[in-house]
Amino acid sequence: MPESDLKRKRARVACEPCRERKRKCDGAEPCTTCRQWGYDCHYKRQTPQKRHAHQQPPSEDSPTLRPPQQIESVDTHGLDRRLWANSGAAFVRRMGLNIDPAKAPKLSLFGWNIGKRQLSSESQVVHPVLSITDITSLQHMRTLAQVYFAKIGPCYGFIDSFRFYERLDARWQSPTGSDLYDSVLGGVAALGCLFSQRNMTITELHLVGSALSILDTHVLTGTPPVDLLLGWTLRVIYMRMTDLPHSTWMASSRLMHLVEAAGFHLESTDSVFPRSIDAGFDRNIQRRLFGVALHLNLWTSYDLGLSRVTFQKNDLPLLPSTIEGDYTHEVLGLLPLSASLDPGKPKEDEMKLEDTLSQILERVHKEPPSTMAQCNLVLCILRRIHTQNLEISPRLAEKALSLLKKGLTCSRTMVSDCSPWQHMANVPFHIICVLLVMDTRHSLAMLPEAMHTLKLVTSTYDTNTMREAWSAALLLVMLHQQRRKDDIAIFNHVMNMEEQENPAGPPLQEFPSAEEYSWLGALVADLPSLQRDDLDQFLNSDMIDSTSFLGGSG
For 121-143, b where at least 16 C-beta lie within 10 A, e where not — what string? Answer: eeeeeeeeeebbbebbeeeebee
Task: Answer for the pair 295, 338: CB distance below 8 angstroms, yes or no.
Answer: yes
What's the mean pLDDT in 460-478?
Answer: 92
**Alpha carbons 230 and 375: distance in angstroms, whole number:** 27
Q: Look at residue 279 and tell me whether its pLDDT is greater than 70.
A: no
Using one digit for the tens of pLDDT, what is the confidence trace for 151-177? 999 999 999 999 999 999 999 998 887
3-state secondary structure of 153: coil
**Would you state the pLDDT for residue 273?**
52
Q: Decide if 362 contacts 349 (C-beta within 8 A).
A: no
Phi-psi group of 505: left, alpha or beta (phi > 0 → left; psi -120 to 50 → alpha; rest → beta): left
Residue 97: the pLDDT is: 79
For residue 64, pLDDT over 50 is answered with no
Of 506 and 31, the one with more pLDDT: 31
- pLDDT band, very low/low/confident/very high, at 61 (cuts 50, 70, 90): very low
Instruction: Using the predicted structure, report yes or no on whether residue 518 has a pLDDT greater than 50.
Output: yes
Q: Above pLDDT 70, what percent of the chain?
A: 75
More confident position, 255 or 522 = 255
**Is residue 51 over pLDDT 60?**
no
Comparing 74-83, 423-432, 493-502, 504-513, which segment has the lowest mean pLDDT? 74-83
CB 211 within 8 A of CB 183: yes
What's the confidence (pLDDT) of residue 139? 96
Which domains, and CATH codes, for the chain? 12-41 (4.10.240), 85-114+346-494 (1.25.40), 129-311 (no CATH)
The DSSP line for 22-75 is T------SS-HHHHHHT--------PPPPPPTTPPPPPSSS--PPPHHHHHTTT
**250 CB-near residues (< 8 Å, 6+ apart):** none
Q: End-to-end alpha-carbon separation of the chain, Å?
A: 54
**Res 240 pLDDT > 80:** yes
CB atoms within 10 A of CB 523: 11
pLDDT of residue 75: 44
The pLDDT value given to residue 1: 45
Question: In the structure, what pLDDT confidence band is assigned to residue 276 with cuts at 50, 70 and 90?
Answer: low
235 vs 208: CA distance, rounded Å: 8
pLDDT at 465 over 50: yes
Query: Which one has a higher pLDDT value, 478 or 120?
Result: 478
Average per-residue pLDDT in the chain?
79
Residue 341 corresponds to which amino acid? L
Task: Check whether 459 has a pLDDT greater than 80.
Answer: yes
CB of 111 closer than 8 Å to CB of 423: no
Which residue has better confidence, 189 or 92?
189
More confident residue, 506 or 312: 312
Residue 66 has pLDDT above 50, yes or no: no
What percentage of the chain exceeds 90 in pLDDT? 42
Asked if 408 and 434 count as a contact pair (C-beta separation under 8 A), the reply is no
Residue 48 has pLDDT above 90, yes or no: no
Q: Is the pLDDT of residue 114 over 70?
A: yes
Residue 330, pLDDT score: 92
